[in-house]
Amino acid sequence: MIRQNLEVAGTISPEVQVQVLISSLVQVRLFAAKFQTAVTRYKDTYYSDRSKIQYFTTYNIALANGCQGLVGVMLDIKSQFWKPGGSTQTDAKIATEFDALLTVYQRLRELLCDHLLEEALVDLQEQFNTLLTPRWLNNTEPMDTICLTLSDYFTDYQHLYQKNFDHVVQIALNTVAMRYTTAILQKRISLKTQEDRKMVADRIISEAAKLSTVFEQAAPDLAKFDSPCEVMKSLAEVIKVSDVEFLGLELHRLLRRYPDMTSDHLTALLLLRGDLGRLDVRQRVAEIMEEMRTQRTGPAPKSIFSHIVISTSLFT
């Protein structure tokens, strides 16, 4: 409809066409606020009673694709009907409105994709809470369920446009790895012997591999890059070190790879091992953090550790 209005306006004069273009951009952008309110209400209604809405996933996929489709249409309209070089003030106004419109619908697209992922995470909340607990030690069901559920949802997500699908899978990968890493650092289990540490570390490495396989099958191109699942394996390597005198080497390797790790992250990890006293842990952490600080030449690149906050009550 916007394209038709612009074509009709162009038969009157270029000036009228420009004004119709600006008005159209403003109205489409303002509609986004109403659209977001309706989308949020729809999601809230669904979670208040999930039996009331049967096709929540399907509808959200369609809405997310609609936002991405609108962005594509508006980019086509921009290239077809706007030729910079007229009034400087008018060009600036059109450029500003286009940027604002594209930004708001990109955010809406991401919001809808987040709603899709939230549904999967709600279904898996119990399994995430079970990770690294005594119940988890002798039971593969939590991770098996996580992998199967993610695979099922990724099959549904295949109907998303590629850009939307990649966004959902990337956010899922980061979120799942972050929740598993948080479980490791929350000290939900007690490790008393080297055999315990090795068993848990090997289990973490095995489950990290399972998760990596799920994401590689869903989005092979995304999985080619440094996966957040590698964080889990790196933490496991620290847990399974048999001689505490060699811990420093693993910790240096860990911090070089993830320089945004904090002293709280390291403290939680070392306390999980169960073979170091609190005073010893604090001293080791303080020393290695100081060493890494003096070696750092710029701001630390961000990893999932930047989003993980550890409660200091775990250290008392």
Higher pLDDT, 234 or 88: 234
Where does the pLDDT of residue 223 fall: very low under 50, low under 70, confident under 90, or very high at 90 and above?
low
Q: What is the pLDDT of residue 10?
A: 72
Where does the pLDDT of residue 97 fall: very low under 50, low under 70, confident under 90, or very high at 90 and above?
confident
Q: What is the pLDDT of residue 85?
A: 66
Q: Nearest-CA neighbor of 255 among 229, 291, 223? A: 291
Listed range (59-73, 198-212, 221-235, 255-269) with the worst mean pLDDT:
221-235
Q: Is residue 284 predicted with pLDDT exceeding 90?
A: yes
Q: What is the pLDDT of residue 93?
A: 86
For domain 2-118, the CATH class is mainly alpha
Amino acid code (one letter) for 118? E
Sequence-ordered list of residues with C-beta below 8 angstroms from that of 42, at least 6 positions apart, any chain: 53, 59
DSSP element (H, E) containing 16 = helix 14-48
Could you give the percent of the chain with pLDDT greater than 90? 66
SS3 217: helix
Where does the pLDDT of residue 130 fall: very low under 50, low under 70, confident under 90, or very high at 90 and above?
very high
Tell me 245's DSSP state.
Answer: G
Q: What is the mean pLDDT of residues 279-302?
A: 86
Q: Is residue 38 predicted with pLDDT exceeding 80?
A: yes
Domain ranges of the chain: 2-118, 130-181+189-226, 248-316
Render pLDDT for 131-176 as a digit per residue (tens, 0 to 9).
Answer: 999 999 989 999 999 999 999 999 999 999 999 999 999 999 999 9
Please give the mean pLDDT across all residues of the chain: 89
Q: Are the C-beta atoms of 176 and 146 separated by less than 8 Å?
A: yes
**Alpha helices (runs of H) in 124-193, residue ranges in sequence order:** 125-130, 134-137, 141-157, 162-185
Place of tokens 């650092």: 185
Task: Tell how far CA 162 is from the center of its chain.
Answer: 17
Render pLDDT for 235-258 as a digit per residue (tens, 0 to 9).
Answer: 999 999 998 889 989 999 999 999
Higher pLDDT, 78 or 232: 232
Tokens of 177: 């790895």
Tokens of 77: 């309209």
Could you give the percent of the chain with pLDDT greater than 70? 96
pTM of the predicted model over 0.85: yes
